[in-house]
Structure 1
Amino acid sequence: MNEIESSSPQSRGPADHNVRDQIVAAADEHFSRYGYDKTTVSDLAKAIGFSKAYIYKFFDSKQAIGEAICAQCLSKIIAAADEAVAGATTPTEKIRQLFKALVATSVSLVFNDRKLHDIAARGAGEKWPSVRAYAEHIRQFLTEIVREGREFGEFERKTPLDETVHVIYLVMHPYVNPLLLQYNLDHAEEAPAQLSSLVLRSLAP
């Protein structure tokens, strides 16, 4: 559940080709040093030692390369959330740990590397496929947890499941969306506990 695909149609070449991975790794390093906006495919070609035409065999644009990097970053966040939820013993605790892990890992990965944040924010603003997949993963987490909580009698059952999940996601959104999180960093430490408590009170049977 914790692997986010870069499912954009811009990806070219065999998905398991080691050259594709080499291009992504080199681009990640180059973007971190010079920034996403200031880097061109020509710059990457020079840095890697490939021709621009060869890179275009695997990616048809800089955005497609950024998409692959964004997918890798978001997969790490989902993996951390998956581990946190797996370690919780009750649906109530799973809600708390999910929110905490998503925010803490996002801050650690994205905001300790401002260049990576540029890519993640661009992806969120332009709704790249990896960002949409990331949001869907979070909704899947919530759906499974809420369904389990209802089965165990921890959560109310009157509200339709999809409506409940949607509202919880809306509460979490300012802290799990890379574009919005940058405006909420001042509260990122205490917000997960406070907002998860608010959500859990609304879920009480």
Structure 2
Amino acid sequence: MGRKKTSELDAVATKQSIVATAERLFRDIGYAKTTVADIAKALGMSPANVYRYFPTKAAINEAICDRLVHSIEAESWESLGEEGTATERLTRFIVAYHTIIKRSIIKEKKLYDMVAVAMDEHWDVVQQHSYRMCNYISIILEQGMAAGEFRRMDGYKMAIALHEALTVFLYPSLLEHRVNESDGGSSMLEELEQLLDLLFYGLSAKA
């Protein structure tokens, strides 16, 4: 039993090392230019050994993306704080998410390219991320309904509708086009805030 547990721990540690090394190379070289052989060389192991833990480079990328999107979610959720109305808190959450994605496009282009591949290929990790984002939004909507701030509705269905309405400000590939077409400055944020004002007006219990 002790040997088996140690072996399992070693396997987890090796997988974590592969993911961490791959992420560093993807940041430095870029996803497209990094090969499994590069990852193996940096770890001092053979490519065949890497393939024991991950069947493809895409599988490594998926593991990295899973870690990254959880980090983005956590940072966005922390922006909520405990003060303010549901409208104010949901605005902070969405603006924080938008800002993090935009920052990655502008300042961490190589890492963003890796996430964009995952988004465009509709990997399960990205779909699960979208589900969680809708869950976060629905939680805040439910809180707003309980406080009498929002009209009664199906919170999760409305969360999906809001998420889709905001896609151009949240989805990396679409946001990249907006960043390239603009100065990447405050104008895009102002547009997002104006759209949120419109959406929240429709949600208001007083509308």
Same fold (TM over 0.5): yes
Query: Counterparts of 1:28 and 1:64 in 2: how far apart (Å)?
Result: 12
Structure 2 Cα separation of the partners of residues 19 and 71 of structure 1 = 17
- Tell me if the contact between 1:99 and 1:196 (Cα under 8 Å) persists in the aligned partners: no
AA partner of residue 37 (structure 2): S
- Which residue in the other structure is 1:193 paired with? 193
Is the Cα–Cα contact under 8 Å of residues 96 and 192 in structure 1 kept in the other structure? no
CA distance in 1, matches of 2:174, 2:10: 31
Find the residue that maps to 2:17 and give its secondary structure.
Answer: helix
- The 8 Å contact of residues 99 and 192 in structure 1, kept in 2 or not, is answered as no
Q: Who is 1:71 aligned against? A: 66
Q: 2:141 aligns with which of 143, 146, 158?
A: 146
Considering fraction of residues, name the structure with more helix.
Answer: 2
Q: In the alignment, what sits opposite 2:171?
A: 177
Alignment counterpart, residue 161 of structure 1, candidates 155, 166, 179:
155
Given that 2:135 and 2:156 are in contact with CA atoms closer than 8 Å, whether structure 1 keeps it comes out as: no
d(CA) in 2 for partners of 1:174, 1:120: 16
Cα distance, 1:24 vs structure 2: 1.1
Task: Measure the CA separation in 2 of the matches of 1:111 and 1:63.
Answer: 24
Q: Which amino acid aligns with 2:73?
A: I
Partner residue, 1:4: none
SS of residue in 2 equivalent to 1:70: helix
| Aligned partners of 1:32 and 1:113 also within 8 Å | yes
What is the total number of aligned residue pairs between the two structures?
Answer: 192
- The answer for unaligned runs of 5 or more in structure 1 is 1-12
* 1:192, distance to aligned residue in structure 2 (A): 3.1
Any idea what SS the aligned residue of 2:53 has?
A: coil
* Structure 2 residues not aligned, in runs of 5+: 1-7
SS at match of 1:183: helix
2:98 maps to 1:103:
yes
SS in 2 for 1:57: helix
CA RMSD of aligned residues (A): 2.0
The DSSP-based 3-state class of the residue aligned with 2:107 is coil
Hey, what does 2:118 align to over in structure 1?
123
Q: Which amino acid aligns with 1:200?
A: F
Report if aligned partners of 1:45, 1:55 keep a CA contact under 8 Å in 2: yes
CA-to-aligned-CA distance 1:39-68 (integer Å, 9 cap, x gap): 221121122211111111211110011111
Deviation at 1:37, TM superposition (A): 1.4
**TM-score, length of structure 2 as denominator length:** 0.84
Q: Which has the higher contact order (CA 8 A, sep 6+)?
A: 1
Deviation at 1:15, TM superposition (A): 9.4
Aligned residue type for 2:175: L
